[in-house]
Amino acid sequence: MAWDKETELRLRQVIKDSGVALLNENLVQGTWGNTAVRLDEDHMLVTPTGLDYIALTPEDMPVVQISDPSIWSDGKKPTSERKIHAAIMQARSDINATIHSHPIYCSILASARIELPVMSDEMQKLVGGTCRVGAYGLPGTKKLKNGTVEAMQGRNACFMANHGVFCAGKDMDEAFEIIRIMEKSCYQYIQECTLKATGQQTYSDELLFDYFVVQKTAPKAKKK
Amino acid sequence: MNATVQTILEYAQRLVNEKVVGDSDMISIRAELNFMYITKAGVKLCDLTEDDVIKMNIFKVEKEYKYHSEIYKSREDINAICQCYPKWVMPIAKAGVTIPAVLDDMAQIVGPTCKTSADDIVSIVKTLKGRNSCLVKDKGCITSGRTLDEAYTCVLVLDKAAHCFVASSVIGENKIINGIEARLMRFIYKTKYSKKNQENLSAKEEGEIVSEDTSVKEESEV
């Protein structure tokens, strides 16, 4: 092990807090997300699989080998998505913390598989450009892992098609800043598209509702 | 307090907290084969108290409880139902269209598609055939499960998928998960994840004490 106990204890708390923060900031919806933080070149701490973040203790976080994520120790069974976290950490030595989650506005763009343009200077600075969409693959597959690694090239975030978002930073604080700006930028993009489609000046969810209903019902009316 | 009543109160509160309810939502749990505990019609879930959860024979119910009783009668595999009015489901129910597999968690937990049924109980039972959820034209949605936890999770995932589907009308069409992959995920979810987990939850909702087996939750996470 190329890290000291003190660092490990600190990072265990970082991982524990990251899970709670995802919940508190409403960045997990429907199903759980997961996070990882690097210990050294070949090891990372990750969140365990499918467990309540509030109830978890720092000691529950397993240590996973980056070069072979099937090897893990010292905690509860790690997240099934650890292969993707490991692949990003392996491909990018500048990355020390990763977050994968399914917040709603990111999920919307992921389900439409749309590359998000740069929405602000802040997004440019944090994400490093547009946010691409990785190729669709079933959960746990090589196709999904490789698609994510490819879409992350030169960026700190990417969408996972029909699934969610993946964010990576030099530390957990930065990874959080990235997922926050992603969710904010996606919301902004949807608002702008709604205003453009409807020709209105002010966004409201009702505007989107009404546009949807007209879109879905109008062609049928024409046929009659 | 009866454990089933307590479970209903707990999940009613969770639905309220998740903001996936409207004004006339009702939830129920089957008790024995021919009875159900159900929230009183006309009582908002946010105002629900112990006295608003009533036990009734599914063969002797008033009109407003028929949606639930008829589903229990026709489907022995269903033990809990949420009849809810989540915000993003509403425009789809109004348009009367089908939600395709827009997200992985929808394909797993709700199913490869979610159809809209006409607003009568015969159509609803028919639309639910081989499924656990549907939308109801101009109303909201009905989700069901082997446990209330399953039906509840279904409401959350359905509302999120609905939001994706609605928003895609302005940002570009949804790219749908192909049918075979969607069915495969659903199959894996149903067999691998949920069987054991649901058995534990079911025992819990009926008031038994069981040890939590968390290792089977893995599939629900992705």
The pLDDT of residue A134: 96
pLDDT of residue A45: 95
Which positions in chain B touch A102 (Cβ < 8 Å)?
A: 103, 105, 160
> Which residues of chain A does B172 touch, with a Cβ-Cβ cutoff of 8 Å?
112, 114
- B142 burial (CB, 10 Å; 0-12 / 13-18 / 19+) is buried
- In which region does residue B203 sit, left (phi positive, over 0), alpha (psi from -120 to 50) or beta (all else)? alpha
Whether B218 sits inside 8 A of A104 (CB atoms) is no
CB distance from A72 to chain B under 8 Å? no
Mean pLDDT of A17-36: 82
> B99 - beta bridge partners?
B114
A207 touching B, CB under 8 A? Answer: no
Beta-carbon separation of A50 and B174 below 8 A: no
Partner B contacted by A135 (CB < 8 A): no
Best of A141, A162, A165 to disrupt the B interface (most B CBs within 10 Å) is A162
* Cα–Cα distance list, B72 to A26, B28, B34 (Å): 35, 10, 8
Residue with token string 């969409």 = A133
**What's the pLDDT tens digit per position in A47-74?**
988 767 788 899 999 999 999 999 999 9
What count of CB pairs under 8 Å joins A to B?
Answer: 128
Give the start-end residues of each E strand in chain B: 26-31, 35-39, 53-57, 80-84, 116-117, 133-136, 141-145
Averaged over A121-142, what is the pLDDT?
Answer: 94
Question: Can you give the pLDDT at residue B44?
Answer: 94
Tokens linked to B66: 């028929």
Residue A52's pLDDT is 73
Inter-chain residue contact B91 with A31, CB threshold 8 Å: no
Query: Which residues from chain A sit within 8 angstroms of residue B187, using beta carbons?
Result: none
Average pLDDT over residues A123-151: 94
B37 backbone dihedrals φ, ψ, rounded to 5°: -100, 130
Of the candidates B95, B135, B90, the residue with the CA atom closest to the CA atom of residue B117: B135
SS3 A151: helix
Average pLDDT, chain A: 91
Quote the pLDDT of residue B198. Answer: 58
Q: Tokens representing A179?
A: 């997922």
| Contact in structure between B29 and B205 (CB atoms under 8 Å) | yes
Of A30, A32, A213, the CB nearest to B91: A213
Is A190 an 8 Å CB contact of chain B? yes
SS3 A133: strand
The pLDDT tens digits for B19-55 are: 999 889 999 999 988 999 999 999 999 999 999 999 9
Q: Tell me the C-alpha distance between A198 and A221, whole Å.
A: 20
Partnered with residue B129 across adjacent β-strands are none
Q: Report CB contact under 8 Å: A190, B181.
A: no
**Percentage of chain A modeled with pLDDT above 90:** 77
Low-confidence stretches of chain B (pLDDT < 50) are 208-222
Closest partner CB to A163 (pick from B103, B167, B184)? B103
Q: Does B50 touch chain A (CB under 8 A)?
A: no
- Confidence band, pLDDT 50/70/90 cuts, at residue A3: confident
Contact A30 B168 (CB under 8 A): no
- Residue A32's pLDDT band, with cuts at 50, 70 and 90, is confident
**pLDDT score for A2:** 82
Res. A87 pLDDT band, cuts 50 70 90 = very high
Closest CA to A219 of B148, B66, B88, B95: B95
Give the contacts of B66 (CB within 8 A, at least 6 positions apart): B121
* Helices (H), ranges, B75-178: 89-95, 104-109, 121-127, 148-171
Longest dimension (CA), chain B: 50
CB-based contact, B186 to chain A, within 8 Å: no
| Nearest chain B CA: its distance from A4 CA (Å) | 30
pLDDT of residue B84: 95
d(CA A140, CA A142) in angstroms, rounded, equals: 7
pLDDT at residue B211, as a whole number:
38
Beta-bridge partners for A100: A34, A166
| Averaged pLDDT, A178-192 | 96
Three-state DSSP at B114 gives strand
- Cβ–Cβ contact B182 with A under 8 A: no
Q: Which two tokens stand for residue B206?
A: 């009926």
Q: Which of B95, B177, B217 is nearest residue A162 as measured by Cβ atoms?
A: B177
Task: Produce one character per residue of A18-53: b if its CB has 16 or more CB atoms within 10 Å, e if not.
Answer: bbebbeeeebbbbbbbbbbbbbeebbbbbbbbbbeb
CB contact under 8 A, A194 and B170: yes
Q: Which of B163, B173, B185 sits opposite A138 (nearest CB)?
A: B185
CB pair distance less than 8 Å for B215 and A209? no
d(CA A151, CA B167): 23
Contact between A180 and A25 under an 8 Å Cβ cutoff? The reply is yes
Cβ proximity of A83 and A69 under 8 Å = yes
Beta-strand (E) ranges in B71-206? 80-84, 116-117, 133-136, 141-145
Per-residue model confidence (pLDDT) at position A224: 41
Six-digit token pair at B197? 């987990």
ipTM at complex level: 0.88
Nearest to A139 among B90, B104, B173 (CB): B104
Cβ separation of B171 and A196 shorter than 8 Å? Answer: no
Query: Tokens at residue B27, please?
Result: 């939830």
pLDDT of residue B187: 87
Q: Which two tokens stand for residue B46?
A: 């946010």
Q: What does the buried/exposed string (b/e) look like for B202-217 if buried means 16 or more CB atoms within 10 Å of the residue's CB?
A: bebbeeeeeeeebebb
DSSP H or E run through B60: none
Half-sphere exposure (CA, 13 Å, Cβ side) for A168? 28
Kindly state the DSSP code that residue B215 receives in the 8-state scheme: G
Residue A138 is encoded by which pair of tokens? 């079933």
